[in-house]
Amino acid sequence: MTVVQLRRGAGVSMALAGVLAVALALAHGRATLAEVTDPAARISELMDQAKDLGAKDQLPNTWWDLDKRFKEAREGGASTAIWAGLENDAARLINQAAFIREMRQRKSALEALLGRFDQALVEIGALYGVAPDPRLSGSEAAADLIERLSAANLRRQVVADSLAIANRTLVEQVGGSAVARESLITSLQVEVSTLRQKLWESELRAGVAEADRSAAETVLTRKQQREEAVERVRDLFTPEEAEVLLTADGDVILRVQGIDFAVGSAELGQGQTDLVQRVAEAVALFPDARVRIEGHTDDTGSRDANLRLSRRRAETVAAAVAAHLDRDASTFVTEGYGPDRPVALNSTPAGRALNRRIDVVIGAAR
């Protein structure tokens, strides 16, 4: 087992241990709830526990469905079987929320490490004209790249041997003085020796090429600096104000729900200066990146009106951010998508609130 696999296994074990600890704590809580004879009170307490674990935000569909059935049961005089089913569903919701929270807490670092490793393999292969298999990742991708580099090394070795053969043939054909012949032989031997040295330097050691270790380390350093900048962006906002997401292409999405607009208006509400300034600080952490500011709405009203409104809101935020950074607003691309790209269901107030947002998309490093 490789070091990467050992660390990954350790990380999963720690994650499972954390989830088991939460499960034991919840089991103790249910033992206390068992003393409550009122089924509605028991379920209400379970839902409070689930909410504390983030179920309302992370599992909105399950949460609202359970909440609706709970309200109907309280109003309609439900049977014992219905109360038992609701209690089971509430307990399951607690476990689901605990598991998601534990996994989310541990996911980002592992994903960033894997992405950095895979990108390093791509860049190492590019240095020698070898492309890794795009279907592979992690240790399998590394093994595949080593095999491809070995094949390329073998081809270069064949070229070197061919040069050696050509050298011997040329020596046999060269006439004249011994000094001229020996000089030519020495020159060819130096050329062959240089080629062999280059072949040896192309071998892959510990995931990076020895010949270009400095270049590879520079690439990894830039990636690490970008990841540190992403962490600093996360520290600028509360979960209610904004969420920071990373795409597979390396883009950073700052999903801002905290910017307040009046209904049907593109003007910023009162008290938005501090939040907009922090958005500007987040953009400033990526000075060379392309930035696109997107406006999004829920599906209330006509689509055409929402498209226009979302674009105007994006332009308003772009102008405010540019003013804080002392930049021209035209350096930002603005888009209005209206209700076309929801992130939650529009059938609930909470879902519509999540869909009314500004997304600041910070492009991958160039």
Considering the domain architecture, whether residues 134 and 181 belong to the same structural domain is answered as: yes
Considering the domain architecture, whether residues 357 and 240 belong to the same structural domain is answered as: yes
Residues in the chain: 366
Average pLDDT over residues 129-155: 84
Domain membership flag for residue 283: yes
Give helix then strand counts, H and E, for the chain.
Answer: 11, 7
Amino acid in the structure at residue 208: V
Considering the domain architecture, whether residues 242 and 349 belong to the same structural domain is answered as: yes
Average pLDDT over residues 142-169: 84
Cβ atoms of residues 171 and 163 within 8 Å: no
Amino acid in the structure at residue 82: I
Considering the domain architecture, whether residues 160 and 254 belong to the same structural domain is answered as: no
Domain membership flag for residue 191: yes
Considering the domain architecture, whether residues 179 and 286 belong to the same structural domain is answered as: no
Considering the domain architecture, whether residues 358 and 249 belong to the same structural domain is answered as: yes
Which pTM does this prediction carry?
0.42
Distance between CA atoms of 140 and 138, rounded to whole angstroms?
A: 6
Phi, psi of 349 (to 5 degrees): -60, -40
Domain membership flag for residue 123: no
Structural domain span for residue 160: 129-201
Residue-wise pLDDT for 17-36, tens only, equals: 444 444 445 554 544 454 55
Considering the domain architecture, whether residues 242 and 192 belong to the same structural domain is answered as: no
Map residue 258 onto helix, strand or coil: coil
Domain membership flag for residue 169: yes
Distance between CA atoms of 162 and 10, rounded to whole angstroms?
A: 50
Distance between CA atoms of 297 and 89, rounded to whole angstroms?
A: 32
Q: State which of 177, 201, 225 marks the end of a domain.
A: 201
β partners of residue 295? 336, 358
Residue-wise pLDDT for 160-197, tens only, equals: 888 888 777 766 665 555 556 667 667 777 776 776 77
Considering the domain architecture, whether residues 356 and 295 belong to the same structural domain is answered as: yes
